[in-house]
Amino acid sequence: MRRTLTLLVLLLAAPPAASAQWPAAVAEMDRYVQADRIVGSALVLVEDGRIVAEHYTGLQDRNNNVAADRNTIWHWGSITKTLTAVAVRQLEQGSNRPRPVPDLLDRSAVEFVPELRRIHDPYGTIDAVTVRMLLSHSSGLRNGTWPWARGEAWEPFEPTEWDQLVAMMPYMQLEFAPGSRYGYSNPAFVYLARIIQAITGDPWQGRIYKTLFMPLGMQASYFGLTPVQLQGQRSHNYIVERTDVADRGPEFDPGVTIPNGGWNAPVTDLARWMGFLAGSSDSATQARYDALLPRRVLEEMWEPVVRVDAEQEMGLSFFLRREGGRRLVGHTGTQANFRSFFWLDPASRRAVIGVVNTSNDVDPAAAARGFEAVMAAARQALSP
């Protein structure tokens, strides 16, 4: 009897097992790494906020022969947008501030960022662009933040000051009628960050630290240049060229565009973010999550707003797709030679996260196909 009870306790305490499809996802990542000459990669499976399976290949720093592992700090690019989106919904609910703004989603962005009035709207008035449209990539704003870069080594990676974006607004126009269709927009999330600042008085970065990173224990997450105490964990970024795989170093400054793509973190912090998004089976943990943003509000962000393509729709900053009868929620990131993704199955509280530190300048189309194959296999690993 005692042995039976001991075994039962051990079974109850054991972490969830990886899915039967996990080995196939690992094999697909390995194929991609080899075919595309990836220097370092990570693929992890998360359940209920815990990493239950993990796979790392290669190096975070080739020059010093530092292997990639769960402590490696990667750059997550546009996955940053999910932080910005949740921070906006917190304002609407009054989370972490005295008074809610209950109608925020349907208010004009110009109300909070009056500089936007300088953008030409050939379809009517720029006042028609709402906060909801910014979140759902249906505002009509263009994709790129700064189209005039020439790729010179001396140029900043991105504009460094808000005033630079304001100065270019008279030379911008909406590309389609607001709310009429999908059109991915990076600058929309810079404007959302300005809305957060206008309402709270807090700079965007401080707001994210205070209302998301600190409460969720994401202690190795940061934006921009790497703090001294974390520099040993920072992955370099690499690019495949015709004769070599070039090391572009660990650092670059996203400047004013940090709210749309500036997040740096290890997979352990991404797992904590997945735990918050997926929700917890533990009532005390879920109550802590609900204090940041009620579950029902988070799930509203996963309701379709506009169709992206034949396979995907867009919610409020999250890509949505259905596979095998399951609703999946996710986002990707591509910046400074890093590629990353996450996909989440809210019903099972499972998520899969992937990242590589290398891009391919020789055959980018083949690299993109390989990365899509990794994501497809990873989504299958969300099944039991």
For residues 18 and 199, which has the higher predicted lDDT (pLDDT)?
Answer: 199
Q: Which of 131-135, 151-155, 175-179, 235-239 comes out lowest in average pLDDT?
A: 151-155
Tokens of 290: 């609900």
pLDDT in tens, 314-362: 999 999 999 988 999 999 999 999 999 999 999 999 999 999 999 999 9
DSSP state of 210: I
Per residue in 271-304, pLDDT (tens digit) is: 999 999 999 999 999 999 999 999 999 999 999 9
Average pLDDT for the chain? 92
**SS3 for 264?**
strand
Q: What's the pLDDT score for residue 157?
A: 72
Q: What are the b/e assignments for 131-155, b being 16+ CB within 10 Å?
A: bbbbbbbbbbbbeebbeeeeeeeee
Query: Cα dist. 254→129, 146, 224, 226, 292 in Å?
Result: 25, 12, 6, 12, 27
pLDDT value, residue 198: 94
Higher pLDDT, 200 or 16: 200
- Mean pLDDT throughout 187-210? 95
| pLDDT at residue number 253 | 86
At 187, the amino acid letter reads P
CATH code of 17-380, in short, is: 3.40.710.10
Question: pTM for this one?
Answer: 0.93
Whether the pLDDT of residue 161 is over 80: the answer is yes
The yes-or-no verdict on residue 152 having pLDDT over 80 is no
Which pLDDT tens digit goes with each residue over 104-115?
999 999 999 999
Output the pLDDT for position 299: 97
Confirm if 44 and 344 have CB atoms less than 8 A apart.
no
CB 75 within 8 A of CB 62: no
Enumerate the domain spans of the chain: 17-380
